[in-house]
Amino acid sequence: MVHWTAEEKQLITSLWGKVNVEECGAEALARLLIVYPWTQRFFSSFGNLSSPTAIIGNPKVRAHGRKVLTSFGEAVKNLDNIKATYAKLSELHCEKLHVDPENFRLLGDILIIVLASHFARDFTPACQFAWQKLVGVVAHALARKYH
Amino acid sequence: MLTADDKKLILQIWEKVLGHQEDFGAEALERMFATYPQTKTYFPHFDLQHGSAQVKGHGKKVAAALVEAANHIDDIAGALSKLSDLHAQKLRVDPVNFKLLGQCFLVVVAIHHPSVLTPEVHASLDKFLCAVGNVLTAKYR
């Protein structure tokens, strides 16, 4: 089980409370597809991903980004039980979606940049540490059921 | 591979960084030490507390190297050849750590210039930082 200090939990939950999940989710997924274009391989059904403008404006990208970040919220709500929280999603990503877990790490790094750009100086080094730890734990949990 | 568009965007963002590059370098290092404590193992001889003069000084060096790379963006390997030798022969920082510092540098730019770090600029800057990391580790073996 992951050990969280009281301070880490506080940094995570208080920042999360201020996150616009729809906006941040859409932005994070769009940035993933733009900064690491090979990740577009999973989204051939999403229509036009031919340019950064197309990706940012793509309604399927926005909707899926929101879905992904909403799911991330489950980790924030269940910091002491992230493994169990993502067990089914892990199976899904392995067996149905066939997503290389490295992509979870890439998305985690992108999310950190999005949070930094939104929260500026409030995204202190301690905050960055807690959140980088969290995205790592989520990535690990999502990879855990792979076989 | 850095395209012509990448180079344009990198030089654009570099204009914003110039004048603050030393502070940005120091902040990126501080964040790297805080976020990835294992990176501190390369600096046992440093005072790593907030505001450390040594970290400031080292941030200045790192920033200067990035500026040099940006100024010679068509030949980063040539511009950083001596640094590349240094990292291969003396410092031997594990290659994975350049990504970590790169991530922290992006965070610093995101914090100070969120509106300039559009997704396209983010992509180009990330590519640039990767290219610098690759050059610095190119002679490792």
| Per-residue model confidence as pLDDT tens digits over A110-131 | 999 999 999 999 999 999 999 9
Query: For residues B69 and B11, is the Cβ–Cβ distance under 8 A?
Result: no
The closest of A99, A110, A106 to A143, measured between CA atoms, is: A99
Of the candidates B36, B112, B122, which has its C-beta nearest A113's C-beta? B122
Q: Is B111 in contact with A112 (Cβ distance < 8 A)? A: no
Mean pLDDT of the B86-106 span: 95
DSSP letters for B47-102: --STT-HHHHHHHHHHHHHHHHHHHTTT-HHHHTHHHHHHIIIII---THHHHHHH
Which of B48, B111, B121, B127 to mutate to probe the A interface, most A CBs <10 Å? B111
Q: What is the pLDDT of residues A66-118, one digit of tens each?
A: 999 999 999 999 999 999 999 999 999 999 998 989 999 999 999 999 999 99
Neighbours of A143 (CB within 10 A): 19
Query: For residues A146 and A94, is the Cβ–Cβ distance under 8 A?
Result: yes
Handedness of CA B127, B132, B137, B139 (dihedral sign): positive
Q: How close is the nearest chain B Cα to the Cα of A133, in Å?
A: 8
Rounded Cα–Cα distance for residues A117 and A1 (Å) = 31
**pLDDT-based confidence at residue A1 (cuts at 50, 70, 90):** confident
Q: Chain A partners of B100 at a C-beta cutoff of 8 Å?
A: none
Phi, psi of A145 (to 5 degrees): -95, 10
Q: Chain B partners of A127 at a C-beta cutoff of 8 Å?
A: none
If you search the block for the tokens 């993933």, which residue do you land on?
Answer: A32
Q: Chain A partners of B110 at a C-beta cutoff of 8 Å?
A: 113-114, 116-117
Q: What is the pLDDT of residues B32-78, one digit of tens each?
A: 999 999 999 899 999 999 999 999 999 999 999 999 999 999 999 99
Task: Please tell me if residue B79 touches chain A, with a CB cutoff of 8 Å.
Answer: no
Rounded Cα–Cα distance for residues A1 and A84 (Å) = 10
* Percent of chain B residues topping a pLDDT of 70: 100
Rounded Cα–Cα distance for residues B61 and A36 (Å) = 29
CA angle A131, A20, A140 (to 5 degrees): 35
Query: For residues B28 and B108, is the Cβ–Cβ distance under 8 A?
Result: yes
Q: Is A125 in contact with B114 (Cβ distance < 8 A)? A: no
